[in-house]
Amino acid sequence: MDTTEKHLIHAAFKQHEAGNLEAAVALYKEILEKHPESTNALFLLGTLHLQRREIDDACELLRKVLTLRPDHAMAHNNLGSVLQELGQLEEAEACYHRAGELKPNEPKINSNLGDIYREQGKFKKAVISYRQAIRKNPDSAELHCNLGALFQEIGRLDDAVGCYRRAIDLKPDYALAYSNLGMALQELRKLNEAVKSCLKARQLNPNNEVMQNNLGTVLKRLGQLDEAAECYRNAITLKPYYAEAHNNLGTIFLEQKKIDQALQSYHLAIALKPDYAMAYSNLGTAYREVGKLDSAIESCNRAIEVDPNYAEAHNNLGTSLQETGRLDEAITSYKRATSLKPDYALGHLNRGLALLLAGEFADGWEEYEWRLHIRNRIPRTRIKKLWDGSPLTGKSILIHGEQGFGDTIQFARYLPMVKALGGRVVLECQKELMSLLRGCSGIDELIEYVSTCKPPVPFDTHIFLLSLPKIFGTTLETVPADIPYIKVDSALCMKWNRRFHTNDNFKIGIAWSGNPKNANDRNRSCSLKDFAVLGDIPHITFYTLQKGTAAEEASNPPGEMNIVNLEKELRDFVDTAAAIANLDLVISVDTVVVHLAGAMGIPVWNLLPFAPAWRWLKEGDSSPWYPTMRLFRQAHPNDWLGVFLQVKRRLYDLL
């Protein structure tokens, strides 16, 4: 290299290093006009093109370097990066290997080899390569952060956290390491630590859209939806075409039941990133929320077309198929989801629920156990070994009530079976049910369920209430139905008898709405106005058993209905049970009222949506759980009129 060329290379590299890329390009080209085979100028100009993602130009120049100088290690390395960008992964891997042979002490080569292995899914080799890079440059915060990101991707979260913390020790102002640490901590459910780390990342780099987006994700996990939405909006302000932030904002709108805004966000995310499988899958969920099941199925299928291995999309497809009554196809979709992702708890749970709905109890109960692995479903650490059904003589067992009031009432029937195995039975249940269940057989002690602390009583073993059917091997033929198992206080019952006895009409208790927090409430609940078709049947008095905000509908009932509003008189479930005991019939949508009436042995007509809960099975007008119950099913989604016309015909037959 002559003095002039050396001087120009030095000047060009200074401009390159300072970020003055156009000036650097001009100088490199000036050199190449005079010295067209200058490998230094060719290499540096090729590297600059790679920086600017001008891939074809970079590839041409770096290949020319290697033609002139086959032993140029970093040219092999950078050509590997070019080929990786082009998706030619095997060729890129070969370049990195050759670079490593020529320059074995260069950590960047090992790091790049780790990147290619990671992209190929060769995670063990990727770990080895990153660790080799770190051994060669142990003080590189970036290398520790890269290894942490790999560990996080393959689920080794504790190892990821260690790597991120080491990166921060080496580089205390490393915003990316703080942000990644926050995301790993939130996956470990250490949400308070996670939000602190993400806040620190944003403080260090407030103008980075990824930092804003990640903070939003952690805040969403904490339930701070408005704050999370603000972070996503900040990310979008910083980068308007940031598809991931639009998708995440859509998930906030979806959770807030702002479906139109959710749909808009998902459509925008897809417009910005047409191969965005997650956004298509989420779009399907939003369509399902508003009953547009054909569009939901189409969106989920599009997600699967983009990414056939996206387990969540197969699960979402299954949910929409199930709501259209295509149960066998839904079960196939859930099975595909869990085969792609064997530890996918929600996929297993949904498959279990579908199998139970189909009456396939043996496999259904097994899959239903996956509910205990769903994030936030069981908020406390499970302590001691779960009961396996073995004899309990001389032992105490704590049974955890779970889910809704109706679930606790339905499965309380198993408590005498547990008691028969010889132990002392302690039931932990919702505060609202304690008075009602106090007289139930099989319970030695009742304690209030408090999600934020450990149970206040000692015990030898424990089990979740809805796991008892699996423990006892319940089949359709062996459902325990020793009815009634809910007893009503006789004095209170007489009080309500006096309340009703002056009325000679046929007395029907009604309820039209369940808990609005239930995921299926939009399908299972109707309105009091839907009962209006029954209003012209003579000699009936309707008594409202409805509680909550929906009870306000009784203040303006349909015109022809002879209705008595009991809402203010029903202080608790004991009052409701005593009122039900004095009625001739209960007619209700699928809510706690049908379970209470059924457990008391009172005639009850259960009004079901087209896609009912698993416990009512997919067909039939009777229930193995409650002998006094009759089921009325929609013929198609939202067919409440059809259900009430069925009810009307049956009432005429009855009266």
Tell me the two tokens of residue 486. 């809910």
Q: CA nearest 74: which of 41, 100, 94? A: 100
Is the previous residue joined to 308 through a cis bond, with omega within 30 degrees of 0?
no
From residue 432, how far is each of 404, 429, 445, 483 by CA, in Å? 11, 8, 16, 22
CA–CA separation, 266 and 286 (whole Å): 9
E strand or H helix that includes residue 507: strand 506-511
What is the average pLDDT across 381-405? Answer: 87
Rounded to an integer, what is the distance from CA 381 to the centroid of its chain? 19
pLDDT digits (tens, 9 = 90+) for 69-83: 898 888 888 888 878
Q: What is the dihedral of CA 539, 544, 545, 548, to 10 degrees?
A: 170
pLDDT digits (tens, 9 = 90+) for 190-233: 999 999 999 999 999 999 999 999 999 999 999 999 999 999 99
Q: CA nearest 176: which of 136, 149, 195? A: 149
Q: CA nearest 53: which of 21, 85, 95? A: 85
Q: Is the pLDDT of residue 640 over 90?
A: yes
Asked if 364 contacts 466 with a C-beta cutoff of 8 angstroms, the reply is no
pLDDT band at 377 (very low <50, low <70, confident <90, very high): low
pLDDT value at position 451?
66
E strand or H helix that includes residue 607: strand 604-608
Q: Give, as one character, the DSSP assignment of residue 343.
A: T
> 193-201: long-range contacts (C-beta < 8 A, 24 or more apart)?
194/218, 194/221, 195/219, 195/222, 200/175, 201/175, 201/176
**Residue 148 C-beta-side C-alpha neighbours within 13 Å:** 26
Lowest mean pLDDT segment, chosen from 111-120, 130-139, 421-430: 111-120
**Taking the alpha carbons of 197, 198, 202, 205 in that order, is the dihedral positive or negative?**
positive
pLDDT digits (tens, 9 = 90+) for 265-309: 999 999 999 999 999 999 999 999 999 999 999 999 999 999 999
Task: Supply the mean pLDDT for the chain.
Answer: 91
Asked if 190 contacts 160 with a C-beta cutoff of 8 angstroms, the reply is no
Tell me the two tokens of residue 191. 């949400």
3-state secondary structure 531-579: HHHHCCCCCEEEEECCCCHHHHHHHCCCCCCCEEECCCCCCCHHHHHHH
Beta strands in 176-276 (DSSP E): none
From residue 44, how far is each of 20, 41, 50, 233 by CA, in Å? 14, 5, 10, 39
CA–CA separation, 210 and 218 (whole Å): 13
pTM of the complete model: 0.85
Question: Which CATH superfamily does the domain covering 283-373 fall into?
Answer: Tetratricopeptide repeat domain (1.25.40.10)
CA–CA separation, 399 and 425 (whole Å): 7
Ordered by start, the domain boundaries in the chain are 1-65, 66-275, 283-373, 396-471, 490-654
pLDDT value at position 51?
82
Q: What is the DSSP string of 387-449?
A: P-S---TT-EEEEE--S-HHHHHHHGGGHHHHHTTT-EEEEEE-GGGHHHHTT-TT-SEEEE-
pLDDT band at 176 (very low <50, low <70, confident <90, very high): very high
Asked if 630 contacts 570 with a C-beta cutoff of 8 angstroms, the reply is no
Q: Give, as one character, the DSSP assignment of residue 622.
A: B
pLDDT digits (tens, 9 = 90+) for 348-367: 999 999 999 999 999 999 99
Ramachandran category for residue 325: left, alpha or beta (phi over 0 → left; psi -120 to 50 → alpha)? left
Q: Is the pLDDT of residue 500 over 50?
A: yes
Beta strands in 357-395 (DSSP E): none
pLDDT value at position 453?
62
User: What percentage of the chain exceeds 90 in pLDDT?
Assistant: 68
pLDDT value at position 32?
77
Tell me the two tokens of residue 487. 């007893």
Q: Is the pLDDT of residue 464 over 80?
A: yes
Q: Is the pLDDT of residue 380 over 70?
A: no
pLDDT value at position 314?
98
CA–CA separation, 436 and 439 (whole Å): 7
pLDDT value at position 381?
47
pLDDT band at 382 (very low <50, low <70, confident <90, very high): low
Q: Is the pLDDT of residue 97 over 80?
A: no
pLDDT digits (tens, 9 = 90+) for 596-638: 999 999 999 999 999 999 999 999 999 999 999 999 999 999 9
What is the average pLDDT across 545-568? Answer: 88
Q: Is the pLDDT of residue 643 over 80?
A: yes
CA–CA separation, 539 and 571 (whole Å): 28
Name the β-bridge partners of 462.
386, 398
Residues comprising the chain, all counted:
655
3-state secondary structure 136-204: HCCCCHHHHHHHHHHHHHCCCHHHHHHHHHHHHHHCCCCHHHHHHHHHHHHHCCCHHHHHHHHHHHHHH
Residue keyed to tokens 């457990």: 599
Q: What angle do CA 133, 136, 141 make, to 5 degrees?
A: 65
pLDDT band at 3 (very low <50, low <70, confident <90, very high): low
pLDDT value at position 383?
64
CA–CA separation, 620 and 632 (whole Å): 9
Pick the CATH number of 1-65 from 1.10.3720.10, 1.25.40.10, 3.40.50.1470, 3.40.190.10: 1.25.40.10
Rounded to an integer, what is the distance from CA 194 to the centroid of its chain? 19
**In CATH terms, are 1-65 and 283-373 the same topology?**
yes
User: What percentage of the chain exceeds 70 in pLDDT?
Assistant: 97
CA–CA separation, 553 and 546 (whole Å): 9
CATH of domain 490-654: 3.40.50.2000
Ramachandran category for residue 169: left, alpha or beta (phi over 0 → left; psi -120 to 50 → alpha)? alpha
Q: Is the pLDDT of residue 21 over 80?
A: no
CA–CA separation, 630 and 106 (whole Å): 76
Q: Is the pLDDT of residue 2 over 70?
A: no
Task: Output b/e per residue, 251-267; b: 16+ Cβ within 10 A.
Answer: bbbbeeebbebbbbbbe
CATH of domain 66-275: 1.25.40.10
In terms of average pLDDT, the best of 56-60, 109-113, 129-133 is 129-133
pLDDT value at position 376?
57
pLDDT band at 389 (very low <50, low <70, confident <90, very high): very high
Q: Is the pLDDT of residue 7 over 80?
A: no
pLDDT value at position 379?
44
Q: What ranges in 52-153 are assigned the alpha helix state H? A: 55-68, 73-85, 89-102, 107-120, 123-136, 141-153
Number of other residues whose CB lies within 10 A of the CB of residue 133: 25
pLDDT digits (tens, 9 = 90+) for 479-494: 999 999 998 988 999 9
pLDDT value at position 574?
95
pLDDT value at position 112?
85
What is the average pLDDT across 18-34? Answer: 79
What is the average pLDDT across 145-160? Answer: 94
pLDDT value at position 594?
98
Asked if 546 contacts 525 with a C-beta cutoff of 8 angstroms, the reply is no
CA–CA separation, 271 and 243 (whole Å): 8
